[in-house]
Chain A
Amino acid sequence: MFEIEENKKLLHKTIHRIADLITIAFVLVCILFATRGF
């Protein structure tokens, strides 16, 4: 069961990473917006 859960985590890791990257990019743009840095 542990192995299955680990595999599941690995399989969805890429999607998690992409979602995380998008979130970070959006927050960075928000900081840019808030500093009028554009």
Chain B
Amino acid sequence: MHYSIKNGLLWLGIYFILGLLPMAIAVAGELPEFRTFWIEFGVALGFVGLAMFALQFVFSGRLEKVAPVFGQDNILNFHRELGITAFFLILAHPIILILAEPDFISYFDPTDNFFRAIALSFVVVFIILITATSLWRVNFKLEYEKWRLWHGFFSLAIVFIGLTHSLQVSHYLEPLWKKIALSVVMCAAMYLVVHTRVVRPWLNKKRPFKITKIKQELGNAWTLTIEPEKNIYFEFKPGQFAWITIGPTPFSIQQHPFSFASSARARAIAFTAIVEGGFTATWKHTPLETRVWLEGPFGSFTPKQDSNLFLVMGGIGVTPAMSMLRTMKDDQDPRQAILVYANKNVEEITFRKELNELRDYINLKVVHVLEDPPYGWEGEEGFVTKEILDKQLPDKPGEYTYYVCGPDPMMDMVGMALYDLNIPWNRIYMERFQIV
């Protein structure tokens, strides 16, 4: 499926309707007495803020149906943007209410209602913490796994306390059916988190894999090959990724996304990563036969049936392209593939030898771009610029789909260069994981 404006608008429309659902429940039936504009406005912000926060679970719930429409990268950016909006709306709710009617400060008064005051104070602190740690996780030196655990906990707590608060205030939620309707909607949203964090790992327990090979590649990269323990076939499309957990149980906070590097037709599944410390640094020391759990596959960074492939990859970002090319070899796919592959130097071209061999089996053209080329290098040098891409563009660019994966600055430059070269936006696919 290509990205499309029609599908995008459809999902945005659904988002908008769901965002207004709690407010729609509030105004259904007989309305309570009107207070002042600012009080009612503050209440409305609370309903929308709560709904937006609950809808954040849809983006983080790894839903297979939503991801292909926008791309995982865009969805995570959207999640981030709307999270900031929800932050302001939820904080504006008590601020506007207290400014409009100072008596509302009693909601934070423990002598008035101890549990209510504590819960609402916690929500304010949680909202600030969840937003700050998401925007500046690296600055806070917070490990990804710990951040993810806290992110889930804070978001669930915010929505749960928000729901309880709405039910308890009850101004717009009489009669009982309104309370039930809002509870059902919010519980459905909260279930998405429980599904991702508990149900899916539990389902994965029936599908264990084991490490069968660990191999060092060029450029400080290591390839981890796994095979299913049972007689099952794990289906994925080349270019997709999975969340990997290594160890005896799938219920670990150590879960990381990696693109499949192997052919989608092979039973053995391979992932290749640069050893940079953290999770990947443990790969080379992990004993063979260790259990691995896969959650996925995810992603829409996949070859489209009706077009040739123009791949612009940087460093280890080449892994999804390797999966595409290896699958093309297994399928004896006659389509043209052009790979513009950027690396620092010759020694870091991770799959150099195999790419040379692949040219014997598939219609593949490889253009190496080296930042620090050796003496006498006749290929492209420096970064992947608009000029280099222009030179490599095929005669009929409309017959190709464009895939970009690599370090952030390269992706930004290549994305803009392709746009400047009049490649339609819905034919450019970009994949990046480092969002927080």
A interface residues, Cβ below 8 angstroms from B? 3-4, 7-8, 10-12, 15-16, 18-19, 22-23, 25-27, 29-31, 33-36, 38
5 contacts between A and B (CB under 8 A): A4-B412, A15-B77, A33-B41, A34-B44, A38-B27
B contact residues around A16 at 8 Å (CB): 81
Report whether over half of chain A's contact residues are helix, strand or loop; otherwise say mixed. Answer: helix
- The 8 Å CB contact of A33, one of B44, B81, B82, is B44
A26 lies within 8 A of B52 (CB): yes
Evaluate contact between A33 and B40: CB separation under 8 angstroms. Answer: yes
> Could you tell me if B81 and A15 are in contact, using CB atoms closer than 8 angstroms?
yes
Q: What band does the interface of chain B fall in when counting residues whose beta carbon is under 8 Å from A? A: 20 to 34
| Per-residue contact bits, chain B 9-24, to A (CB 8 Å; 1 contact, 0 not) | 0001001100110010
Residues of B with C-beta under 8 A to A29: 20, 23, 44, 48
- Separation of A27 and B16 alpha carbons in the complex (Å): 12
Contact residues of B between 1 and 56, Cβ < 8 Å to A: 12, 15-16, 19-20, 23, 27, 31, 34, 37-38, 40-41, 43-45, 47-48, 52
B413: which A residues are within 8 A, CB to CB? 3-4, 7
- Checking B12, B23, B27, B415 against A18 with a beta-carbon cut-off of 8 angstroms, the contacting residue is B12
A10 to B412, CA, bound (A): 9
Main DSSP-derived SS at the B contact region: helix
Contact B12 A30 (CB under 8 A): no
Residues of chain A with a CB closer than 8 A to B416's CB: 7, 10-11
Given contacts A11-B416, A33-B40, 12 further A-B contacts (CB under 8 A): A4-B409, A7-B416, A15-B74, A19-B78, A26-B20, A26-B48, A26-B52, A30-B48, A33-B41, A33-B44, A34-B37, A36-B34
In the complex the two chains form, is B412's CB within 8 Å of A33's CB? no
Interface contact A26-B89, CB-CB below 8 Å: yes
B16 touches A22 (CB 8 A): yes
